[in-house]
Amino acid sequence: MAGSIAITVENGIAHLVLSNPERRNAISSAMWQSLARFAHDAERRTDIRVAVLRGEGDRAFSGGADISDFDSARSDASGAQGYDELVEAACSAIEGLACPTLALIHGACVGAGAALAASCDLRLAADDAFFAIPAARLGLGYDPRGMGRLLRVFGSQGTRHLFFTADRLSVARAYEIGAVDVMAAAADIDATAARLAQRMAENAPLTLKAAKLSIRAAESGAGALLAEARRATTSANASADYREGRLAFAEKRAPRFSGA
């Protein structure tokens, strides 16, 4: 089956590259499974403080789900539901990572690719990027869980535009409505993403975990998430990193956080 996820970790930053260039980095079933597997494995690792997702090359973040899967995996209603579960599992796993996540977007960010980008905490996009959801051109129903994710990122009107017209949403418009956090010239976006990822990787990971949980709890209203966020906040306040942060501030030096 075409496509793979190339994963490297360096200086606390995990780089995940959607690699299926002949299909504009369309995401195959195996790639969805690899994304979920990475997220689950990352929770047991201490060397990952930030995750950056991008597509191979500069033509596309992702052209969406690999449609070559559809005849076998999504040929009827039952298959479509199973495929939706596969996509949701991967997006939820990326969304649930304890560390911050960045989607670095060049070119096309379409369909399930847009859903994956919406699963990340931040989106950095080149000025050649665009978003589109072509579900209405394919006649397929869209999972309400994924719709909720898009609503949180693109807002009510942006999501309506994407679905009802099936037309492109420009990166300028996406930036205007807050779906894109940083927009830069295509030649500069990689360096911009590297600086932002490094800045976050240098921050206290327990604080970032607690903050991310608190944000998700506030957005969802889920009691279980709120309880988890409270535990994470308590852990951060009792950590060696908190003591290190206070000491570094008093000594006027950069803190050295260990994640403990």
Looking up residue 183, the CATH number of its domain turns out to be 3.90.226.10
- Nearest Cα neighbor of 56 from 129, 5, 128, 110 is 5
Task: Give the range of the structural domain holding residue 214, as residue numbers without chain letter.
Answer: 205-251
Residues 233 and 197 placed together within one structural domain of the fold: no
pLDDT digits (tens, 9 = 90+) for 194-250: 999 999 999 999 999 999 999 999 998 888 999 999 999 999 999 999 999 999 999
Residue 256 lies in a domain: no
pLDDT given for residue 140 in this prediction: 85
Residue 259 lies in a domain: no
pLDDT given for residue 221 in this prediction: 85
| CA separation, residue 113 to residues 133, 140, 246, 254, 256 (Å) | 9, 16, 41, 37, 36
| SS3 track for 168-199 | CEEHHHHHHCCCCCEEECCCCHHHHHHHHHHH
> For the chain, what's the residue count?
260
Residues 188 and 224 placed together within one structural domain of the fold: no
Residue 163 lies in a domain: yes
Q: Give the span between the Cα atoms of 129 and 171, in whole angstroms.
A: 6
Residues 196 and 216 placed together within one structural domain of the fold: no
Residues 37 and 116 placed together within one structural domain of the fold: yes
Total domains in the fold of the chain: 2
Residue 190 lies in a domain: yes
Please give the sequence-ordered ranges of beta strands (E in DSSP) within the chain, or none if there are none: 4-10, 13-19, 50-55, 60-62, 101-105, 108-110, 122-126, 130-132, 169-170, 182-184
> To the nearest whole percent, how much of the chain has pLDDT over 70?
95
**pLDDT per 10-residue tile (average), the chain, 260 residues:** 89 97 93 96 93 96 83 60 90 96 97 97 97 93 93 96 96 97 96 97 96 93 91 96 95 93
Q: Give the span between the Cα atoms of 79 and 94, in whole angstroms.
A: 23
- Residue 69: DSSP 8-state: G
Residue recorded with tokens 């072509």: 134
Residue recorded with tokens 């195996």: 30
Residues 172 and 215 placed together within one structural domain of the fold: no
Residues 196 and 210 placed together within one structural domain of the fold: no
- Residue 244: DSSP 8-state: H
User: For strand 108-110 and strand 101-105, is the pairing parallel, antiparallel, or unpaired?
Assistant: unpaired
Rounded to two decimals, the pTM is 0.92
Residues 240 and 193 placed together within one structural domain of the fold: no
DSSP codes, 104-139:
EE-BEEETHHHHHHHTSSEEEEETT-EEE--HHHHT
